[in-house]
Structure 1
Amino acid sequence: MLTVTVTALTVGLATGVQAAALSSTPGASASAGTAGFGCVHPLEAGQARCFGVLKAHRTTSGRMSPFTAGSPSTMGYVSSDLRSAYKLGGTSGAGRTVAIVDAMDDPNAEADLAAYRRSYGLPSCTTSNGCFRKVNQSGHASPLPPGDYGWAEEISLDLDMVSAACPGCHILLVEAKSANVAALMTAADTAATTPGVVSVSNSWGGSEDNTITSLDSHFRHPGVAITASSGDSGYGVSWPASSRYVTAVGGTSLSKASNSRGWTEAAWSGAGSGCSAYEAKPSWQHDSGCAQRAVADVSAVADPTTGVAVYDTYSSCGGALLCDTELQLGLAQGADGWVEAGGTSVSSPIIASVYALAGNTSRVVNGSYPYSHKSALNDVTSGSNGSCGGTYLCTARPGYDGPTGLGTPNGTGAF
């Protein structure tokens, strides 16, 4: 059985000259047949990485390449599955905007979003009907950053997950000009201060260092729910998930079951979790095994082997006749249609969308709200994401645990 280790790249948390690169925390191996999105520019060190993982195969060259063959019905869970698993039916976020913060440009974002939504009978979401907007980090329609194949995969995933969980929501895509933390902080502020935005998803991050607390203010936007992916390298903490002002979102493996819920979940082995080395313990966290901020708070599906369908066509082969073949052989970058994806890049926009569905973010000031509404969550009690002496920080158990937090949405009551 092939096992591919998805290693978290690092983010230099400096606004001027890049700080020393942060070392990633060793974590669990990803599932066999998976590969991380290539969302760090190859010529720039110290950049944030996104937390998306593709279900993939090993090519003859030894590289892992995405499966792009298939159809909307064969490439992972779809909107109806996710709304069933998390009891989101009958809810509507109409008129509320979920913002997505990513780096670089996806030139095909709007067209790919339209294809995804059309395939599942979701309402149209376009620039012309006012549902979709794409802006640069300063909030302007132009100039947009250069295109990037890896970040385009991330952008497609984020847009599709908002569409899946909250089909009635408007979507704002804010594209930072690079994966540098300064650009991403500008984009984060733009997203949270744009009128109509009620929640913001950040599916990216890097390892902690002693500069992170000075940057936390960029996520302090009372009345706007901010979510952040916990990471894809197993046990170990990433930032901004460890910020006290965000809801840190872990990950699960989600499977259909013959129980009363119709679904079952376990902690995903790749989800990030643990005890922050720098962020103080929030007053609303009471777990006894971590004197600092514990990650995660809540969770949703993230395992690429129980992944979600995503539509992305931005590739270096540009849709040519043999584009799928080139991608399968590792001769081209990007994707050319339907892929099956996972990672906590899936779970973060899902939770941001559930906040929007709940329509209650005027009362949100940090990640505390779910802690006083635990009964409206599915407790995840099995699975592990690494070695921590068997403690709750890496092992799912009844009640709070690191990989899955308080659990997954059971309707919108916890948000």
Structure 2
Amino acid sequence: MRNHRPLLAALAVAVATSLSAAPALATPGTSHKRVCGPANVHFASCHAEVVTNADLTPLASTSYQSGYAPADLVSAYKLPAAPASGTPTVAIVDAYDAPNLEADLGVYRAQFGLAACTTTNGCFKKVNQNGVQGSYPAADTGWAQETSLDVDMVSAICPACRILVVEANSSSLGDLGAAVNTAAGSPGVIAVSNSYGGNDGSYAPSYETAYYKHPGIDITVSSGDSGYGGNTGSTVEFPASSQYVTAVGGTRLVRNTAVTRGWSESAWTGAGSGCSAYVSKPAWQTDPSCPKRMVADVSAVADPATGVAVYDSYGSSNGANWFVFGGTSVASPIVAAVDALAGGRAGTAAAPTYGQYAYTHGADFFDVSGGTNSTSGCTFAYFCTGLAGYDGPTGVGSPNGAGTGSTTPPPPPAPTFSLTASPTSRSIVRGGSTSYTATVTPANGYASSTTVSISGAPQGVTITGSPTTLAGGSGSATFGVAASTTTKVGSYTLTITAGGGGITQSATVTLQIKRK
């Protein structure tokens, strides 16, 4: 399992519903972990992250104590009380069986004053990947927690929506894909949420056509919890990388009375983003530096430090069944339920738009800026940093209501630049010299003067050409490096820094000093 250990702030959330009042929220633990193990090739792992105690045991309680409740999410995303029309169905696709799901959902909804959603009243239905009630697959504790998280989030956002849960036989992408086909083909389904992913591989183009291309149906997919995935899809996840889905990134959501909205969001450190190596770029994506499919499109709360309350009893003990969850597994069902509230945002079967909606309806999304999901190796700032306009971790932004909204597109990516150093390593003898070249490449209209410098040289090493200012934000700077005959032998890391237009980028190079 991949464990995160960020410093968790107290979830100071005041929750109120018309029928019940929640207790004061306690400070959760100081760490969190994935509830599903890593995925092998052609398999997927769920993206749920449970908040834990210091010893990595889940922070569980016998009554609701912590985590955002439905009223918080409705407030943060300015959502209406009912769907635009009718009673839409949101489908949830997960692997394996969650044996206590319907009963657990009943406890969650009762806690927050939401109407019952049961098989008997027609609100809830659970089927296997072939669409049959009963004959469910084997149960799995981690995936059961994922499924509880998913149905609780749909309930929180759209309590009037019906819920269809389709359980795949296993976590293989083939079984999960078959379950998606079953979900999308079921009567009344307007959106299908998928909170899982595997590696973006060469199989992705054929898999996305076979399983995720459902014209007129909103297919949302969590982008993953491993942060920035590279410029060439090294750890970008599928099916989030499919051109036929809405890839959902993750944010950190906090109350902020200093702003009109009452909430602030920034990019979550774990939000998956990056450029696919295999899937074609959809026509509605116009970001400048990814030649193929860029992840993500939109986003919602995912940081476990600002996590959500979930009730799940399968595999727990002593009646401690209330948990706090994060991960982009939270964000995907939230966005799917918002899409359902809006009456669908993927066009029609005859004229599908797939994930295009956010790119042409900027007013329906809160722009998310600040935060990053990468500390190194990110060539283009918007791939890994929350910026004004589009960026990888948060896409166009998080939901702002559930209307059909204005057709005003969001602002373009902010001007930025990339910095590369060549070569990345040099070796010289004492008394010798060498050089490094730093190249600044502008993007998105960046044209500010940029100052480039090098630092970190050991005693006895002289640097020339630092700093150098590049007019217009484009060009190269060469730095001379000379070692005296008394320089200490060893390997040294030098840092090249470029700054301008309020942006700073850095790169490191290695200098090896030899005796002879």
Partner Cα separation in structure 1 for residue 149 and residue 35 of structure 2: 11
Q: Secondary structure at the match of 1:80?
A: helix
- 2:309 and 2:325 in contact (8 A); partners too: yes
Higher relative contact order at CA 8 Å, sep ≥6: structure 1 or structure 2?
1
- CA pair 414-304 structure 1, distance change in 2 beyond 3 A: farther
Q: Secondary structure at the match of 1:67?
A: coil
In structure 1, the residue matched to 2:367 is 379
- 1:157 and 1:310 in contact (8 A); partners too: yes
Q: Over aligned residues, Cα RMSD in angstroms?
A: 1.9
1:46 Cα deviation after fit: 5.7
Deviates more, 1:210-219 or 1:364-373: 364-373
Q: Note the alpha carbon deviations across 1:327-349, whole angstroms, 9 max, x for none.
A: xxxxxxxxx41000000000000
- 2:217 and 2:344 in contact (8 A); partners too: no
In structure 1, the residue matched to 2:329 is 345
Aligned AA (1:244) = Q
Mind listing any 5+ residue stretches in structure 2 that lack a counterpart? 6-28, 230-235, 406-516
Is 1:129 paired with 2:121? yes
1:223 Cα deviation after fit: 1.5
In structure 2, the residue matched to 1:180 is 172
TM-score (norm 1): 0.85
Residues 38-57 of structure 1 mapped to structure 2, 5 A cutoff: 38=36, 47-57=43-53
- 1:98 and 1:200 in contact (8 A); partners too: yes
Partner Cα separation in structure 1 for residue 355 and residue 379 of structure 2: 27
Partner Cα separation in structure 1 for residue 228 and residue 194 of structure 2: 19
Aligned AA (2:390) = Y
Q: Name which one, 1 or 2, has greater alpha-carbon Rg.
A: 2
- 1:38 and 1:151 in contact (8 A); partners too: yes
Partner Cα separation in structure 1 for residue 72 and residue 48 of structure 2: 20
Partner Cα separation in structure 2 for residue 303 and residue 139 of structure 1: 33
Q: Note the alpha carbon deviations across 1:230-251, whole angstroms, 9 max, x for none.
A: 0001111111001000000000
In structure 1, the residue matched to 2:20 is none
Is 1:167 paired with 2:159? yes
1:170 Cα deviation after fit: 0.1
- 1:265 and 1:380 in contact (8 A); partners too: yes
Residues 31-42 of structure 1 mapped to structure 2, 5 A cutoff: 33-38=31-36
- 2:3 and 2:34 in contact (8 A); partners too: no
Runs of 4+ with >2 A deviation: 3-6, 38-41, 44-47, 89-94, 360-365
- Which protein is richer in helix relative to its size? 1
Partner Cα separation in structure 2 for residue 339 and residue 390 of structure 1: 37
Q: Secondary structure at the match of 2:120?
A: coil
Aligned AA (1:365) = T
Aligned AA (2:373) = N
- 2:311 and 2:322 in contact (8 A); partners too: yes
- CA pair 132-40 structure 1, distance change in 2 beyond 3 A: farther
Q: Note the alpha carbon deviations across 1:179-232, whole angstroms, 9 max, x for none.
A: 111111110100000010000000001111101100112111111100000000
- 2:4 and 2:31 in contact (8 A); partners too: no
Partner Cα separation in structure 2 for residue 91 and residue 375 of structure 1: 20
TM-score (norm 2): 0.68
Partner Cα separation in structure 2 for residue 202 and residue 4 of structure 1: 22
Aligned AA (1:90) = A
Aligned AA (1:246) = V
In structure 2, the residue matched to 1:196 is 188
Partner Cα separation in structure 1 for residue 311 and residue 333 of structure 2: 16
- CA pair 282-45 structure 1, distance change in 2 beyond 3 A: closer
Partner Cα separation in structure 2 for residue 97 and residue 223 of structure 1: 14
Mind listing any 5+ residue stretches in structure 1 that lack a counterpart? 7-30, 325-335
Instruction: Work out which of the residue numbers 110, 117, 139 in structure 1 matches 2:131.
Output: 139
Residues 161-310 of structure 1 mapped to structure 2, 5 A cutoff: 161-217=153-209, 218-236=211-229, 237-258=236-257, 259-310=259-310
